[in-house]
Chains A and B, each alone.
Chain A
Amino acid sequence: MANSVIYAMYDDDQTLLKAAKELVGKGIKVKDCYSPFPVHGIDPVIGVTRTRLGIVSFMFGLGGLSLAMLGTWYFMIHDWPMNIGGKPNFAYHLNMPAFVPILFEFTVFCAAHGMALTYLIRNKTLPGMPAVNPDPRTTDNRFVLEIDSHDNQGMTTDALLEAIKGTEVFELNHKKY
């Protein structure tokens, strides 16, 4: 059987959510969902796992903090200690309070930019990347469920289409590949 993709378009986020629940209830695997804004509650229905970007940000922050501590120690204590207003310049922990603003700023700098870059790379949203949304209206006011026949080997395409027609679908597109 030739593989095909079905794009079921809905005109409302709540209708789409209801339809996704119905389809998944019938054992149909929904591949993805395209929407103009986050549809809350869709992730667990179609099996999208929680993102770990928060952890990424924390790791980058930790890296930034360590780097800033290493830098301030090297510049101010190890390489060239300077007497600035009599501040202790012979031991890192004694001079450290004066470095807190720098440590903080650099932590934030690394956490924010590290996470943002990871986000763009993981999303495959980078300058010059082609858009893959099936219909230009999905960034305006339409919501699309993508169902791949490859993921639903147990059902014929006709049965899939029949099930989708049972929902309040607005428009139905069927593409063979």
Chain B
Amino acid sequence: MFKEASIREPLILGNKSYGDITADVVGPIENKAPKGWYIAITISALIALWGIGCILYLIGTGIGTWGLNKTVGWAWDITNFVWWVGIGHAGTLISAVLLLFRQRWRMAINRSAEAMTIFAVIMAAMFPGIHMGRLWLGYFVFPLPNQFGSLWVNFNSPLLWDVFAISTYFSVSLVFWYIGLIPDFATIRDRIKTPVAKKVYGILSFGWSGKAKNWTRFEEVSLVLAGIATPLVFSVHSIVSMDFATSVIPGWHTTIFPPYFVSGAVFSGFAMVQTLMLIMRKTMRLENYVTIKHVEYMNIVIIVTGSIVGVAYITELFMSWYSGVEYESYAFINRFSGPYLWAYWAMMTCNVISPQLFWVKKWRRSLGFTFVMSIIVNIGMWFERFVIIVTSLHRDYVPSSWSMFHPTFVDIGVFIGTIGIFFTLFLLFARFFPVLALNELKSILKVSGEEHKNKH
């Protein structure tokens, strides 16, 4: 059997048995939900309803209700889209890339991180949809035979690549997540007492029985899916970045965009995982599974990706000067000293300076500090997308058409609303789904459990 070096900190604390792991994870599903959960879901559902109201108003009236104008034709909609897709990336990174690298600490966080991915991608996919204005014509993005002769979609366009990338990413993440969930639903099915719940979990578990051959296949499928999801996750945000990079707008037309966007995505995604996990470990008493060490590992990922993002910002600035193209230079001078300098410097502070504080070991192991930082990083990453999109557009080649972007209540309502929908979905997940990957955690209990480590 595999033995882990004793110098490594254990990943499962306390004196746990296989049965304890089941009880700790399934317990909250069997018991009544705490009062806090009802309060949280009421608040987030109200925000979600407000968002849905704004979306319905938007669809009914048209995208003129957004603050867009002739110069700034893309603003919060695409900012929110890129922000949400970016957040999604951490889930796949944790479940796929860390699986390939045999990082066992991913097992305590992968389930919730993948759930976060799926909900975040749903939120992201909504923005291009509602930006169409006529949502009911959305099927036009697919190459379907139609009544207008041979009118096909344009396969040369990054916007179409995006359609393929996002739909593949969403569906593959969903399948990856669900395949991992099946054995855990079976655990709940065999344990839960109420007949209705037993029936529902019975259907959800697809009749999983845990035979030897099933497990062999399960491991093979997980590995192969991880193998193909890894290039997929890198491709998705690269393609999102090409929506900008293949254009000729100064400030967008840079070859650094794909890696810069991918690391930014992982950076913001891990921050969102931290926000969610820190609340969840406290409220669902998962301190023995999501340990300080897990938080520290995630903070290390945040330092690495945050530093890559910082280098990318500085490279962009350097290249705009070094290129000698005056439009390119102006786009960047305008960013850091123009009317949107507050957004630029908010982005710089949140994304470049603040993650560097995690070099201090005491701080990156502090839960309170991590929680505050995770929110700062997400605010910073929203500003990054806002800066890239709006500041590159608002002063174009003709000074007479220069303008500013002012969000309307619909812009704000839709954005806040997606946060509400996201948290509503996540709270439902936390209530009814196994929030930790039971079968995977049990398989590392003897390798990395505190009690077993001390024995040997």
- Contact (A140, B160) CB under 8 Å given A34-B211, A123-B217: no
> When the two chains form their complex, are residues A101 and B161 in contact, meaning their CB atoms are under 8 A apart?
yes
Would you call A2 an interface residue if the criterion is a C-beta within 8 Å of the partner chain's C-beta atoms?
Answer: no
29 contacts between A and B (CB under 8 A): A35-B210, A37-B443, A40-B443, A42-B212, A43-B212, A43-B216, A48-B212, A48-B216, A54-B220, A57-B224, A71-B143, A82-B154, A82-B156, A84-B154, A102-B155, A102-B160, A104-B235, A106-B168, A108-B231, A108-B232, A111-B228, A113-B171, A113-B175, A116-B225, A120-B206, A124-B207, A125-B207, A132-B207, A139-B183
Would you call A22 an interface residue if the criterion is a C-beta within 8 Å of the partner chain's C-beta atoms?
Answer: no
Closest to B149 in A: A80
> When the two chains form their complex, are residues B208 and A141 in contact, meaning their CB atoms are under 8 A apart?
no
Would you call B229 an interface residue if the criterion is a C-beta within 8 Å of the partner chain's C-beta atoms?
Answer: yes
- Residues in chain A near residue B187, CB distance under 8 A: 36, 139-140
Min distance, Cβ B244 to any Cβ of chain A, angstroms? 15
- Residues in chain A near residue B211, CB distance under 8 A: 32-34
> When the two chains form their complex, are residues B216 and A51 in contact, meaning their CB atoms are under 8 A apart?
yes
Instruction: Give the residues from 111 to 162 in chain A that come closer than 8 angstroms, CB to CB, to chain B.
Output: 111-113, 115-116, 119-120, 122-133, 136-141
> When the two chains form their complex, are residues A38 and B215 in contact, meaning their CB atoms are under 8 A apart?
yes
* Most chain B CB atoms below 10 A, which of A35, A42, A50, A111: A35
* Most chain B CB atoms below 10 A, which of A50, A80, A131, A138: A131
Bound Cα distance A79, B175 (Å): 34
Q: State the B residues within 8 Å of A (CB).
A: 1, 17-19, 22, 143, 150-158, 160-161, 164-165, 167-168, 171-172, 175-176, 179, 182-183, 186-187, 189-191, 202-203, 205-221, 224-225, 228-229, 231-232, 235, 239, 242, 438-440, 442-443, 446
Chain B facing A: main interface SS: helix
- Contact (A36, B212) CB under 8 Å given A54-B220, A112-B229: no
Would you call A109 an interface residue if the criterion is a C-beta within 8 Å of the partner chain's C-beta atoms?
Answer: yes
Would you call A87 an interface residue if the criterion is a C-beta within 8 Å of the partner chain's C-beta atoms?
Answer: yes
Q: Of A14, A80, A120, A131, which one neighbours B202 at CB under 8 angstroms?
A: A131
- Contact (A119, B206) CB under 8 Å given A75-B143, A101-B165: no
- Contact (A141, B18) CB under 8 Å given A101-B239, A113-B172: yes
> When the two chains form their complex, are residues B212 and A131 in contact, meaning their CB atoms are under 8 A apart?
no
Bound Cα distance A35, B210 (Å): 5
> When the two chains form their complex, are residues B207 and A35 in contact, meaning their CB atoms are under 8 A apart?
no
- Residues in chain B near residue A167, CB distance under 8 A: none
Closest to B214 in A: A123
Min distance, Cβ A16 to any Cβ of chain B, angstroms? 11
Q: State the A residues within 8 Å of B (CB).
A: 14, 32-40, 42-43, 46, 48, 50-51, 53-54, 57, 61, 71-72, 75-76, 79-80, 82, 84-85, 87, 95, 98-99, 101-102, 104-106, 108-109, 111-113, 115-116, 119-120, 122-133, 136-141
- Residues in chain B near residue A99, CB distance under 8 A: 155-156
- Residues in chain B near residue A54, CB distance under 8 A: 220, 224
- Residues in chain B near residue A85, CB distance under 8 A: 156
Bound Cα distance A95, B443 (Å): 49
Min distance, Cβ B23 to any Cβ of chain A, angstroms? 9
Count A-B contacts at CB 8 Å: 201
> When the two chains form their complex, are residues B172 and A112 in contact, meaning their CB atoms are under 8 A apart?
yes
Min distance, Cβ A106 to any Cβ of chain B, angstroms? 7
- Contact (A131, B189) CB under 8 Å given A38-B215, A111-B228: yes
> When the two chains form their complex, are residues A35 and B212 in contact, meaning their CB atoms are under 8 A apart?
yes
- Contact (A37, B442) CB under 8 Å given A51-B217, A140-B18: yes
Please name 11 further chain A to chain B contacts, defined as beta carbons within 8 Å, in addition to the given A36-B438, A51-B213, A79-B150, sorted by A numbering.
Answer: A37-B440, A38-B219, A75-B155, A102-B155, A108-B232, A111-B228, A112-B228, A119-B218, A125-B208, A131-B205, A133-B190
Q: Of B143, B156, B172, which one neighbours A109 at CB under 8 angstroms?
A: B172
- Residues in chain B near residue A80, CB distance under 8 A: 150-152
> When the two chains form their complex, are residues A46 and B215 in contact, meaning their CB atoms are under 8 A apart?
no
- Residues in chain B near residue A75, CB distance under 8 A: 143, 152-153, 155
Min distance, Cβ A37 to any Cβ of chain B, angstroms? 4
Min distance, Cβ A129 to any Cβ of chain B, angstroms? 3
> When the two chains form their complex, are residues A139 and B235 in contact, meaning their CB atoms are under 8 A apart?
no
Min distance, Cβ B29 to any Cβ of chain A, angstroms? 14
- Residues in chain B near residue A57, CB distance under 8 A: 224, 228
Q: Of B167, B207, B221, B442, which one neighbours A53 at CB under 8 angstroms?
A: B221
Bound Cα distance A48, B17 (Å): 28
Closest to A50 in B: B216
